[in-house]
Amino acid sequence: MRKKIVAGNWKMNLNFEEGQKLTSEIVNMLKDENDKDVTVVLNPPFVHLYPVKKLIGSTPNLFLGAQNCSDKTSGAYTGEVSATILASFGASYVILGHSERREYFKESNEMLTAKTKQALENGLTPIFCCGEPLEIREAGTQEEYVKNQLTESLFGFSADEISKIVIAYEPIWAIGTGKTASSDQAQEMHAALRAHFASKYGAGIADGLSILYGGSCNPGNAKDIFSKADVDGGLIGGASLKSRDFVDIIKSF
Ligand code: PGA
């Protein structure tokens, strides 16, 4: 059985008090409302990690994640945070290769290999993002484009390492735009990506991979999207900033 996962990506939002309030609300709601054993991950900005971890405490199935990590191990890299530091603060997951990082911070497929390696070596589960821009979708070459992102960044890893990674398919044209991929579009891509991993690592490994959908997921569309055979959950941006919406998405399985 593949893990069902809903991860909230706060991006660069919420001050200290707002982050504490949101986390406390989610912790309280999940005590009664996560009856389907969904793995839930909160990915706040770095400075929230420690206080959010304290609030999470021993809440079942609720984990801490970061939004990025350095591709380096340690040293003179001002402003960077290593996977080692994240692990020492109790993070279990790290989002890597989000389209905003690829675009605004020029993260290449090659750099993302190094970040993934850092995460795995420190026992963090990478939530590895991929997805095509609008012009690629309009040209109809989205599958080749996304498969290529994954091949270039991840296909040097062993089967054992790949089985520790979570994939998030996020069509860039659907992120923060209110325009979601249809559940059929999501299923089509997720199935293609799973087949791509099967071609390299075998069906056993591919079947065990959790592949999340991200891009304007909300309580109104999550049920339909999560009902698809190859969709194992969601990476949620805007809707993860409201406790009720986020928990309703978690309950959409
Ligand atoms: P969104 O963001 O849900 O606000 O579209 C998703 C993401 O970027 O992870």
The closest residue, in CA terms, to atom 1 on ligand 1 is 237
Atom of ligand 1 nearest to the CA of 168: 9
Catalytic pick among 48, 107, 170, 196: 170
Closest CA to 213 of 237, 196, 197: 237
Atom of ligand 1 nearest to the CA of 239: 3
Atom of ligand 1 nearest to the CA of 236: 3
- In residues, how long is the chain? 253
pLDDT tens per residue across span 102-131? 999 999 999 999 999 999 999 999 999 999
Active-site residue flag, 170: yes
Q: Give Cβ neighbours of residue 27 (< 8 Å, ≥ 6 apart).
A: 55, 56, 57, 59, 62
Q: How many helical (H) and strand (E) elements, i.e. helices and strands, does the chain have?
A: 12, 8
Active-site residue flag, 196: no
pLDDT tens per residue across span 27-65? 999 999 988 889 999 999 999 999 999 999 999 999 999
Whether the CB of 175 sits within 6 Å of ligand 1: yes
Task: Give the global pTM.
Answer: 0.98
In the structure, what pLDDT confidence band is assigned to residue 178 with cuts at 50, 70 and 90?
A: confident
